[in-house]
Structure 1
Amino acid sequence: MDENNINTNDVMKSDCPVCGGDKTLEVINKTDNIPYFGDILETSVSCKVCGYQSSDSISLQTNDPSKYTLQINDTKLNTRVAKSQTATVTLPELGLKVEPGPKSQGYVSNVEGILNRFEDAVVRAIKLEGDSISKEVEENALNILQLITEVKIGELTTELIIEDPFGNSVIDDDDAEKELLSQEEADKLTTGFTTIDQ
């Protein structure tokens, strides 16, 4: 982050939630324009005492709710994908789906990066279960890892679907099909935002 482009009004001091340091947490807010995402608010926090740090990016604009679908295999691994913090990513034939949660972040990657994220999540789940993992769960997880490998080496084709109720995601490929979602379809999607009814 280029601090020369940050207005002094965008830098604040706060108490650290980790070490409790008095005004040791620096909070920096900055707006930027990112390809695919448009205008975003970038927030980074860091504590000079304990080293705690965190960052997040939030899209400041909305577009029409959209759904992108692409048949993927080894020839599509380098296709660029922009996923906003509100998008749902699905590989239906593999039985994989990630919906946004409160800590969901947007990112720009490629198809291989998406597959790697799913792969990493399955491996973490196996490690988390440890010795208590059931044979059925372990076999299912290993089967998913095998299917992901088959997609990467071109032995399997599967759909990649990205649905975004705020339309800030894209699969940047001529073969990708884009369709606008109805408001009813968009309302069924998880956004990751917490709302409080008054």
Structure 2
Amino acid sequence: MSEAKEQLFNPIGDLVEKVAEDKRAEEDVTTNDDERPVQEIESLCMRCREQGVTRLMLTSIPYFREVIVMSFRCEHCGFSNNEIQSAGAIRPEGSVFTVRCLGREDLDRQVVKSPTCTVEIPEFELTIPPFRGQLTTLEGLLRDVITDLSDGQPLRRIENEAAYNKIQAIIEGCKEILADDEDEDEDAVGAVKRASQKDAPMKPFTIRLDDPAGNSFIEFHGNMSDARWNMRTYHRTREQNIILGLVNPDEEPEAPKAPADESAEPDLVGDDEIFVFPGTCSSCGHPSDTKVKKTSIPYFKDILIYATNCEKCGYRDNEVKSGSAISPQGKRITLKVEDREDLSRDVLKSETCGLAIPEIDLVLQSGTLGGRFTTLEGILDQIYEELSTKVFAAGDSRHNNDAFDTFLHKLKAVKNVEHPFTVILDDPLANSYLQNLYAPDPDPNMEISSYDRTWEQNEELGLNDMKLEGYEQDAANDASATNTEAPKV
């Protein structure tokens, strides 16, 4: 079965060579149609209702998976169309590919965009909704954006000038990245000008492919440690599963089962109950609820999970806070990461916790990223996303780009565990946690130490002015002094 699959889905480079050989030998009558890499099928043209030809090519994208490339052309009316479809099943998780384009060499990256994929360019505030599948490059994707948005611009200029100006700004931005001008005459002066534009620095931008089916892809340069390339996966929502046809929209989601023992219900209220606090979305200003749930981490303490989801604009946020008393001492957790299994450890990083990886000179101060309850792999992904997005978006950092590229390469190597490294969590309130895979026995790769907080740390946390004992007597004395003091006449 695997041999037959390999024969059907050969690498795209091998198919190109085979197509060239078939063209040279197309006059050979002994050529078998079943052995040709491109199959031709007569199809109905939906424009003129005559017979056209659809060409199918089954191929394999390196480091990706098998796809079917389809191209249709009608010789009667000249209509043509091409599309790409995945030849595999829908992936268990959705995927998000992000590329920071810093030079025009990034425009040559190959792109596989499935029909369920959404394309985003944050710098232009541009979102391309799911449409037909494509096999193209980043440059081809930008040229399609220019072509699609330019259609109808003269009419928009008359009917809605504000929309025209907004769309025209996106078109001009894409043309500036591509460094060409299709309206310029083909003369020597124009050629020299275009050559100088190609050599000019390109304005950095970010492109993101979000595919809930997991069947899209952007090529990386070299290997997966490419600092400008990033991939993450996520669990699909019920709405996304409905769109993909995996869930019946008329089927009601399963309600949580009631406890079998009704007498035990009062004891479970504290951990099972979800509290809802009405508030306002910080992104769009519409009413939005914040949900809070208390949960307990084994061998640690109780925590509170806060989650906000705005139904109007889609803004989401989550945070974790301690649900226990303030610890009398701080805690420092040191983990020696040796293989990818360590990346699956659960991590609770409180808002007062700092994180450091000495091998790559990474130091995050307290408060960075806020409170997070995730895995070690998840928090490294968040660090990479935050650093790459913030720094690449700042134009002033362009001159120091080589140094930051080097740092991101090191961070990518750490994410892929290409070499052992050390993770240090330092929390003065001892509200952070790193999973012990050998619990309740000690973890040989993890060291946990407690220390006394300094006066400066207590002052920063507001603990020096906090009195937990004897405050009732002080309050009574203050009230008595106030009552006995007689006003002067």
TM-score by length of 1: 0.69
Q: Is 1:133 matched with 2:369?
A: no
Shift of 1:93: 2.4
Q: Is 1:87 matched with 2:357?
A: no
In the TM superposition, what whole-angstrom CA distance separates every residue of 1:104-155 from its partner, at most 9, and x where no partner exists? 1221312x3333233223321342124x4343x2122111122223334554
Of 382, 385, 388 in structure 2, the residue corresponding to residue 120 of structure 1 is: 385
| Higher relative contact order (CA closer than 8 Å, sequence separation 6+) | 1
Write the mapping of 1:146-161 to structure 2, written as runs, cut at 5 A: 146-161=409-424
Higher strand share: 1
Question: For the residues of structure 1 that align with 2:365 and 2:416, how far apart are their CA atoms?
Answer: 26
Write the mapping of 1:31-180 to structure 2, written as runs, cut at 5 A: 31-35=294-298, 38-45=301-308, 54-61=317-324, 62-63=326-327, 64-75=329-340, 76-101=342-367, 104-110=370-376, 112-130=377-395, 132-135=396-399, 137-173=400-436, 174=443, 175-180=445-450
Relative to 1, partners in 2 of residues 1:57 and 1:70: Cα closer, same or farther, differing over 3 Å? closer
Question: For the residues of structure 2 that align with 1:49 and 1:30, how far apart are their CA atoms?
Answer: 23
Moved over 6 A (4+): 188-191
Question: For the residues of structure 1 that align with 2:405 and 2:411, how far apart are their CA atoms?
Answer: 10
Relative to 1, partners in 2 of residues 1:160 and 1:82: Cα closer, same or farther, differing over 3 Å? same
Relative to 1, partners in 2 of residues 1:144 and 1:50: Cα closer, same or farther, differing over 3 Å? closer
Secondary structure at the counterpart of residue 115 of structure 1: helix
Structure 1 unaligned blocks of 5 or more: none
Shift of 1:59: 0.8
Shift of 1:189: 10
Relative to 1, partners in 2 of residues 1:184 and 1:155: Cα closer, same or farther, differing over 3 Å? same
Q: Is 1:183 matched with 2:453?
A: yes
Question: For the residues of structure 2 that align with 1:80 and 1:87, how far apart are their CA atoms?
Answer: 15
Question: For the residues of structure 1 that align with 2:278 and 2:291, how far apart are their CA atoms?
Answer: 9
Shift of 1:183: 1.8
Question: For the residues of structure 2 that align with 1:152 and 1:48, how far apart are their CA atoms?
Answer: 33
CA RMSD of aligned residues (A): 3.8
Relative to 1, partners in 2 of residues 1:140 and 1:168: Cα closer, same or farther, differing over 3 Å? same
Question: For the residues of structure 2 that align with 1:18 and 1:26, how far apart are their CA atoms?
Answer: 13
Relative to 1, partners in 2 of residues 1:54 and 1:71: Cα closer, same or farther, differing over 3 Å? closer
Question: For the residues of structure 1 that align with 2:285 and 2:427, how far apart are their CA atoms?
Answer: 38
Higher helix share: 2
What letter matches 1:97 in structure 2? V
Alpha-carbon contact 1:65-1:167 (below 8 Å) kept: yes
Shift of 1:71: 2.3
| Identity within the alignment, % | 24
Alpha-carbon contact 1:27-1:43 (below 8 Å) kept: yes
How many residues matched?
186
Relative to 1, partners in 2 of residues 1:124 and 1:11: Cα closer, same or farther, differing over 3 Å? closer
Secondary structure at the counterpart of residue 183 of structure 1: coil
